[in-house]
Structure 1
Amino acid sequence: MSDEEYHPELAEYVPGRGSSLRHPVARRVLRIVIVIGIAGLILPGVISTIGMQVQTADAACRIVVAARDPQAVAAEVRLEAWGSNGPGWYCYARAFDGTEIMLRPLGLIPGLSYRPSGTPA
């Protein structure tokens, strides 16, 4: 046996069961703490993003309703999974008698794009 293959620090080593030295309850508690920590990092970003999308869709819908249907009494925005243009935010104008007219899809990420005057919307 050469000097490169002999390790004196491992001379008395006896392999064990191969399992962790921690108690199963301690491992479970550690896993729960890790899951709660990851959720605590991710959830605020998700909640913030959803809130921003709701506010942006509402503002964009109010602009569309004011421009296209000034007689409408309310602007209504909805997130629809199966709309006419696929999933996304849709802007509706509500008339005084309660009827709703879909004015424009706002897209999955709500917003308005600038269109030069004279071009169809």
Structure 2
Amino acid sequence: MRRGYVCDTVGGMTDDDEHPELAGYEPGSGASLSRPGVRRVLRIGVLIAVAALIIPGIIATVQMQIRTAQAACRIVVRTVDTSAIGAVARFEPAGPAGPSWYCYSRSFDGSELLRATLGLIPGLEPAPRPPHPAVQS
């Protein structure tokens, strides 16, 4: 038997003895967080906090994709169509290759011609390297 504990049965302790910090506690006393108004306010607060954490990341990601797609499209158009007056990069959810960023060259008359598919995450494939010349000895 432990010192300082009162036993109500032989070899056992009461619940109050096991958790003295809960002595006198009655469930349901005091203000409850289970009231509908309090729960609704807490849910709205949590939703606002989660949105405040997620939305800036989404905005930054979209802005980065727009800048990357525009830069990649300018490179493609300069390489493929030297007579073009501009390059246009657009995200199309239902394009020829599915949802993707597409690069168009713009002509002087305002027409656009599809030049490249930049992918769902815009970027360029690295250019193939020319084979190394054989070393002569």
Q: Where does residue 112 of structure 1 map in the other structure?
A: 124
Mapped partners of 1:50, 1:25: distance in 2? 37
1:27 to 25, 35, 39: 39
Q: Kindly name which structure, 1 or 2, has the bigger radius of gyration based on alpha carbons.
A: 2
Mapped partners of 1:44, 1:112: distance in 2? 26
| CA positional deviation for 1:65 | 0.4
Q: Where does residue 78 of structure 1 map in the other structure?
A: 90
Aligned CA RMSD, in angstroms, stands at 2.5
Mapped partners of 2:27, 2:97: distance in 1? 63
Q: Where does residue 14 of structure 2 map in the other structure?
A: 6
| CA positional deviation for 1:91 | 0.2
Number of residue pairs matched by the alignment: 116
* AA at the equivalent of 2:14: Y
* AA at the equivalent of 1:59: A
Mapped partners of 1:99, 1:41: distance in 2? 42
Alignment of 1:14-53 (within 5 A): 21-22=32-33, 23-53=35-65
| Structure 1, unpaired ranges of 5+ | none
TM-score (norm 1): 0.81
TM-score (norm 2): 0.73
Instruction: Name the structure, 1 or 2, with higher relative contact order (CA <8 Å, separation 6+).
Output: 1
Q: Where does residue 87 of structure 1 map in the other structure?
A: 99
CA distance 1:106–1:15, change in 2 (3 Å): same
Mapped partners of 2:97, 2:41: distance in 1? 47
The percentage of counterpart residues that share the same residue type is 49
Mapped partners of 1:117, 1:14: distance in 2? 77
Q: Do residues 55 (structure 1) and 67 (structure 2) align?
A: yes
